[in-house]
Amino acid sequence: MVVRGRRSLSTVLGGAVLAAAAFVPQSASASTGQSVADLSSTSVEELVASLVGPGVTVSNATFTGHSAAVGLFSGMGAALGLEGGVALSTGRVKDGVLGPHGASKASTDLDQPGDHDLSALLGGRTCLFDAAVLEFDFVRRSPSISIDYVFGSMEYPKFVDPRYTVNDVFGFFVNGTNCATVGSQAVSIKTVNAGVNAEHFVDNTTGARDTAVNGFTKVLTCTAEVEAGRTNHVKLAIADGADGGFDSVVLVGAGGFFSNQAPTAGDLSFSLTAGNSVQIVLPGWDPDGDQLGHKIVKAPAGGTLTLEGGSVVYTPRAGFIGTDSFTYTVSDGIVVSEPYTVAITVDESETSAPVLRERHYTVVAGADTVIELLPLDGVGAPATAAANPQALSEGAVPVSYAVTTAPAHGTLSGDGALRTYRSAADFAGVDTFQYTSSRNGVTSGPATVTLEVAARPVPNVQSRSIPVFPPAPVRIGDGAGTRRLADTGADLGTTASLGALVLFAGVAAVSVAALRRRARS
């Protein structure tokens, strides 16, 4: 039987249709989660589509053999190492793949012919039967292909004996050359078993693995060179040797037949000074030689990106100083890479305006408070005021300051980095003013100084009566006589007021008002 495209089986069976009709398959009850769909419920196109990956053009797909000898399998990862894909068998594919072990004899003569390419692998012997052959043409963009597969057989372990000279055989022919090999030999029960290349073999005679076959290889991979961009041909084939019993199977992994290799790129880092831009060429490498495209997946926080040809231009926003970053991916149109990071450091330039600090003070109404105007340095730490209050010097370049919006409820005096604020004596609330800085003729944006003005405290008055007998002096102090009335440490005369009223000879009343003030930044 040769099946081409989606044509009905009844139109292509030819002389083999009688044998197929006479065949009555035994039932196979699959283990939970396992399934195989043969050509009674799937198509050749679906078989091939499950094998090839994106970026491959397929044509002329055909299957030669019995419709029950090929199918799509799934749920075989735990048992055979491949979760899903296409399986070919020398008997009924369901019987040869599905578990549990021993549920099926997996030894069915399908009365099908052999295959000449498989005969060539045996030195030209023609005693082959029940061949199952899937083949198609393909065009691939890269110059190599990769095939993951597992070979299993009911011929293990008995027919490993060298007295049996002909065994079941299979091959993966890429442009006529078999790539299903171990070393220089074709994979078979003679070349992979418990005694030869045992590291690639799994013995299942006890049924430890949930599959019908008595033994199978671990997942093997064959790679082959092809002509990129041109038509190539692949042929997957398996056949019984010497007789039509003791079935063998080969499973080919889904999607891995032509595995597209993901592109890669790399992390980058750049430095620039404020007021400038940097052009960044985003890298990308693709093992398959595919054309690549880039995508920004996380934009920078401190600047903007502009696309210019095959690169991007990063421009920091006005006033930004510090570190920034963005992330990008690269794609070949099929696979998107992991994200990569571009780290950018924006340094302060001598020709750029300083970045200013917002300030906050709490003051007392009517009292003088010194305000320090500060920029930020290149890493964000506050700079210190210069000895010369006319400017703040960063390196050799002086920074000057100007008040752009005066306070509404007080006055400012002084110039340079140090200013003195005094609110109206009767004001309580929030006052503000704004200032800018300049360096080398470049002026910054405004920064705001916020002042929380507390009401002037009510004088604390304490009345005392002291007898006076002239000419003795009178000492005015606190109750314990241990400190001056002025808590600030200033002379009494600057912080208190005295009043005296002579009521009668030798007796006077004196009032003392102590004043306190407090300021903090």
User: Taking 70 as the threshold, does the pLDDT of residue 410 lie above it?
Assistant: yes
- Tens of pLDDT, residue by residue over 446-483, are 889 999 998 877 665 566 665 555 555 555 544 444 33
pLDDT at position 193: 96
Q: Tell me what pLDDT residue 23 has.
A: 33
**Other Cβ atoms closer than 10 A to 172:** 24
Average pLDDT score over residue span 206-216:
94
Q: pTM (2 decimals)? A: 0.54
pLDDT, residue 237, reads 97
Closest CA to 147 of 260, 252, 262: 252
Instruction: Check residue 166 and give its pLDDT.
Output: 83
Q: Is the pLDDT of residue 196 over 70?
A: yes
Residue 509 has pLDDT above 90, yes or no: no
Does the structure show a pLDDT above 80 at 387? no
Q: How far is the C-alpha of 247 from the C-alpha of 225, rounded, in Å?
A: 31
DSSP string for 130-165: EEEEEEEEEEESSSEEEEEEEEEETTTTGGGSTT--
Go through 156-171 and write b for each residue having 16 or more CB atoms within 10 A of its CB, e for each that does not.
bbebbeeeeeebbbbb
Q: Please determine, for residue 83, whether its predicted confidence score (pLDDT) is greater than 70.
A: yes
Secondary structure string (H, E, C) spanning 44-85:
HHHHHHHHCCCCEEEEEEEEECCHHHEEEEECCHHHHCCCEE
Q: Mean pLDDT over all residues of the chain?
A: 79
Contact status, residue 92 vs residue 28, Cβ threshold 8 Å = yes
Q: Is the pLDDT of residue 232 over 50?
A: yes
C-beta of residue 288 within 8 angstroms of C-beta of residue 271: no
Q: Looking at 207-211, 324-328, 368-372, which range is the least confident one?
A: 368-372
Residues in the chain: 521
Pairing of strands 447-454, 359-364: parallel
Distances (CA, A) of 289 to 130, 139, 332: 41, 14, 9
- The pLDDT of 317-344, averaged and rounded, is 92
Name the nearest CA neighbour of 121 among 155, 90, 166, 174.
166
Which pLDDT score is estimated for 243? 80
Which amino acid makes up residue 329?
T
Dist CA 116 CA 94 (whole Å)? 25
Kindly state the DSSP code that residue 113 receives in the 8-state scheme.
Answer: B
Q: For residue 264, what are the contacts with CB-CB under 8 A and spacing of at least 6?
A: 284, 285, 286, 330, 337
- Residue 78 pLDDT > 80, yes or no? yes
Q: Is the pLDDT of residue 128 over 70?
A: yes
Q: Which of 95-99, 206-210, 306-310, 444-448 has the lowest mean pLDDT?
A: 306-310
- Residue 505 has phi, psi (to 5 degrees) of -60, 125
| Residue 381 pLDDT | 30
Residue 20's H or E segment, with its range, is helix 17-22
What is the SS3 assignment for 461? Answer: strand
Adjacent-strand bridge partners of 178 = 173
Residue 429 and residue 409: Cα distance in Å, rounded? Answer: 9
pLDDT in tens, 9-48: 222 222 222 233 333 333 345 688 999 999 999 999 999 9
CA distance 307 to 193: 59
Structure confidence at residue 220 (pLDDT): 96
Taking residues 311-321, report their average pLDDT: 90
If pLDDT is split at 50, 70 and 90, which confidence band does 73 have? very high
Which token pair is 13? 């069976």
Is the pLDDT assigned to residue 361 strictly greater than 60?
Answer: yes
User: What average pLDDT score do residues 54-62 get?
Assistant: 87
* Domains parsed from the chain with CATH numbers: 2-6+35-253 (no CATH), 268-347 (2.60.40.10), 355-454 (2.60.40.10), 460-514 (no CATH)
pLDDT at 57: 87
- Residue 249, Cα to own-chain centre: how many angstroms? 40
pLDDT reported for residue 125: 72
Tens of pLDDT, residue by residue over 246-299, are 899 999 998 766 657 789 999 999 999 888 899 999 999 888 777 899 999 999
471: preceding bond cis by omega (within 30 degrees): yes
Q: Is the pLDDT of residue 142 over 80?
A: no
Q: Name which residue leads in pLDDT, 144 or 451.
A: 451
